[in-house]
Amino acid sequence: MKFGKNFIWGAATSSYQIEGAACHDRGGLSVWDMLGRQAGKIVNGDTGDVACDHYQRYKNDVDLMAQIGLQAYRFSISWPRVLPEGAGKVNQHGLDFYNRLVDALLEKNITPWITLFHWDYPYALYCRGGWLNRDSADWFADYTAVIVDQLSDRVSHWITLNEPQCFIGLGHHDGVHAPGLKMGLSEVLLAAHHALLAHGKSVQAIRANAKTLPVIGAAQASKISIPVSDHSNDIEAARQHMFSVREKHVFNNAWFSDPMILGHYPEEGVKLFAADMPNVLPEDLACIKQELDFFGTNIYSGNHIQATADNGYATIEIKGLAETAMGWPVTPEALYWGPKFFFERYHMPVVVTESGMANDDRVDNGRVHDRERIEFLYKYLSEYARAIEDGVPALGYFLWSLLDNFEWAEGYSKRFGIVYVDYKTQQRIMKYSAYWYKALIASHQGGHIKDALPEVDIAPTLDSV
């Protein structure tokens, strides 16, 4: 399994999922704080009020990143922590937290990659219409300018939106994510359009205000289509399926990526949505389509696609696939076909901005033997390496996640971290997978795996790096 010497090895988190202390130091509420107050919306009634207490414990967490040997760390900024009302007055305490975090990362030679929006939308702006209000694009651009002005002397890597498919689709259509709305398709498409405008204006704000040359992308929730065979018909069927828009829902690849990168909505979707389409002003698509430096994709699993006689395709259920604790099938080839198909369509370097698995991790004598996660990572990364060997330019990989954390509607019931978090004591324990990842990174930095051999015996799995 070989990656280039300049390949970036990172891990990812998000503000609401790990920071806690939402209103501490005069921060503002987000829509996730409000959803947590609605009975039955989140497993066990969990909230992000404390989470991993990262707001207080960030230094210890940065030390853990350095122990693992991360070269980069993808985290998000809490918009309402910095702008309690979402717009207007800045909360300097909030900005100072991110200044301290960035400085702590740089001190350990860890490159900060900042996600500007990872779902914690300011509740005050939700009360002014939220994503349904076209002003949300300007609100987001103004917030972007505040962050870039404060941090861009030390931060150059920016992700505007994390998974619009989720925060619009699950938050405004299905109602299972914050703000918990079940809107009609036309309202969902209008909110999606405003989120796309927000992305475009945010990119413009970064490029206008950055003090260092910015590297900019977005992070898509990616549904990967995997051909059931290497037959050219099945590969073409999977390629078509991957960018099709045949369901009346925005949880798909092309609906957001095509406008951002190609400058137009996918025709198939425009036809399907027809009367529900938003009123797209003449200048809108030019605003949305801004030059990007990488294609960010969050990949966990994929569907198997087979060509059908009528030049169409069918989704094939593969029996007996292993599943993660989220019930997602383990499909390592998703990390081959996803980067490949995205590069073919958008012709820009790929960054896997998230990939990983939830596992039923348990502490045994102070250790967490998450061999399932090591096997998952080895298989998925082997496929990513194969895509790179086949010519896909890939800049890096951000493992989801550094820490066990608040898994949205699942609360704390699902553990994605390579570092175990005991939520009662806030103790952190590096799992076997953290040691494995450390060895993998070391082996790709010209170091010797033996140098990275941890204090725990994971030798049997090290053969797989």
* Residues annotated as part of the active site: 163, 354
* Total binding residues toward ligand GCO, as defined by CB under 6 A: 11
Q: x/- site string to ligand GCO, residues 328 to 357, per CB under 6 A? A: --------------------------x---
120 binds ligand GCO (CB under 6 A): no
Stretch that binds ligand GCO, among 106-114, 138-146, 162-170, 183-191 (CB under 6 A): 162-170
Closest CB to ligand GCO belongs to which residue?
298
Stretch that binds ligand GCO, among 135-143, 161-169, 204-212, 275-283 (CB under 6 A): 161-169
Please pick, from the candidates 14, 15, 30, 222, the single residue that binds ligand GCO as defined by CB under 6 A.
Answer: 14
Q: Give residues 347-406 in contact with ligand GCO (rule: CB under 6 A).
A: 354, 400
Stretch that binds ligand GCO, among 31-39, 55-63, 160-168, 449-457 (CB under 6 A): 160-168
Q: x/- site string to ligand GCO, residues 191 to 220, per CB under 6 A? A: ------------------------------
165 binds ligand GCO (CB under 6 A): no
Residue 379: which of 303, 422, 458, 322 has the closest Cα? 322
Q: Give residues 415-454 in contact with ligand GCO (rule: CB under 6 A).
A: 416
Distance of closest approach, residue 115 Cβ to ligand GCO, in angstroms: 9
Residue number with CB closer to ligand GCO (131 or 313): 131
Residues that bind ligand GCO (CB under 6 A): 14, 17, 162-163, 166, 221, 298, 354, 400, 407, 416
